Each structure stands twice: as structure tokens, then as C-alpha cells.
A and B are shown apart, each in its own frame.
Chain A
């Protein structure tokens, strides 16, 4: 079965640089979520999109922005990178239909900021 695809899998950047993370959801899934997981931490919700519109926003820094495109893939843009942005970034997708909306997670992008 098709899974969520994320690229790149690993990314190394310098402070103050910019990074773009990409996510390709499972086909026919209508909702995409982004989570950030620091070392030894639980995943923290950043932002979500339903049918290409932003549906919810969590603790996402103003330096970050995201969008979902017409083909349902999503991109997370991160500017003015800081050391504290080093983390695993997960994209998840779901088919948001009651009663269940299990989120399926991609393999993640490991971002290291030097």
C-alpha cells in the first residue's frame, strides 16, 4: 500500500539559512498535518491543511510557513533557521471522514541546523 512520502530525508543547514520540506500524502487523503519532534520529545503539531486550505495551526513559529498545492502535496518552508529548529519533521495524512481519521505518518525529514 502507498505511504506518505517525504523529501528530503536528511537536511543539513547553517543558521539563518532557509529550508523547504516536501510531503506527498497517501492518494485520496484530503488532510495533511505537519509535526515537529525534538530529541526525546513527543511530536508537536505545527499546522494542517484540509482540501488545500489551512485547517488548524499549532505552535508554528512565524518564520515557518506552509501550503498545500492542487495535487495535494504540501511544503513546509522554514526561514532564518535557528539551532533549536534541529528536529525530526513528520508529515501525516488522513482521510477526514467520521468516525475515524487515523493519521498515517511519513518517514520524516531530519533537519540539522549548524
Chain B
């Protein structure tokens, strides 16, 4: 059974600090996704990582993929309050396009 594990599940940060969210998955990955969700809202696509060593950056967020370690990371640089949200990593593999998500990381950025 495929498992996707995120940690931490809760993260309280101060503005201006850096931190990393980790996503481990239990099988060979074809595609790894990161989504953002604000409370009661939809899931917004942030990054798609398709190959070992892939790194993508958008603003203060940077995502990477290590398929050998079965690990993806989402790094937050100089956090600001607007980044407060829940972040999900999701796995999709082979011809099976459904997304299996981690439990999510609730990020709170405090002034």
C-alpha cells in the first residue's frame, strides 16, 4: 500500500525565518506534487517534480525531489504571514493518475 508521510504536521514560524517540510513516500515515484490549501478553500498547485534532482522555486518556496531517498522537501525562505496555509504533498505514479496525499502541514507564520 502506498504511503505518503509528511512532517511536521504542524509548524509555527516567525516571520523572516527559514524552515523545511519533508515528504516521504513508500514506492518509486513518477510524479510528486505540492499543493497549498487555505482554510475551507480549494487546493492550489504549487510545484510538479518529475525527475530525480528536480528543483523548482517560486518566490519564497523551493521544492526538490530525491527519488533514491524517496523524499521531497518544501523549503520556506524568510517566511511571511501570507504563507500561512496547509501544504500537501501528493504522489502520482505509472498509469495511475490519482493523487495520494500526505496528511498535510499546517503552517502558521507569526509576526
The chain A residues found within 8 Å of chain B, CB to CB, are: 31, 33, 35, 41-43, 45, 48, 55-56, 58, 88, 90, 92, 94, 96, 99-108, 110
Question: A79: shortest Cβ distance to chain B, in Å?
Answer: 23
Contact B97 A48 (CB under 8 A): yes
Contact of B97 among A41, A94, A108 (CB under 8 A): A94
Question: A64: shortest Cβ distance to chain B, in Å?
Answer: 16
**Which of B11-19, B39-47, B58-66 participates in binding chain A?**
B39-47
The chain B residues found within 8 Å of chain A, CB to CB, are: 31, 33, 35, 40-45, 48, 50, 88, 92, 96-104
* A102 touching B48 in the complex, CB below 8 Å, given contacts A42-B102, A94-B97: yes
Select from chain B the residue with minimum beta-carbon distance to A57.
Answer: B98
Give the interface SS of chain A, mostly helix, strand, loop or mixed. Answer: strand
In the complex, chain A residues whose CB is within 8 Å of the CB of B48: 100, 102
In the complex, chain B residues whose CB is within 8 Å of the CB of A96: 97
* A102 touching B42 in the complex, CB below 8 Å, given contacts A42-B102, A45-B100, A58-B98: no
Contact B43 A102 (CB under 8 A): no
Contact of A43 among B43, B50, B96, B97 (CB under 8 A): B43
In the complex, chain A residues whose CB is within 8 Å of the CB of B104: 42
6 A-B residue contacts at CB 8 Å?
A35-B99, A90-B43, A94-B97, A102-B45, A103-B33, A103-B45
Given contact pairs A41-B103, A105-B45, a sample of 4 additional A-B residue pairs in the complex whose CB atoms are under 8 Å apart: A33-B97, A33-B99, A103-B99, A110-B40
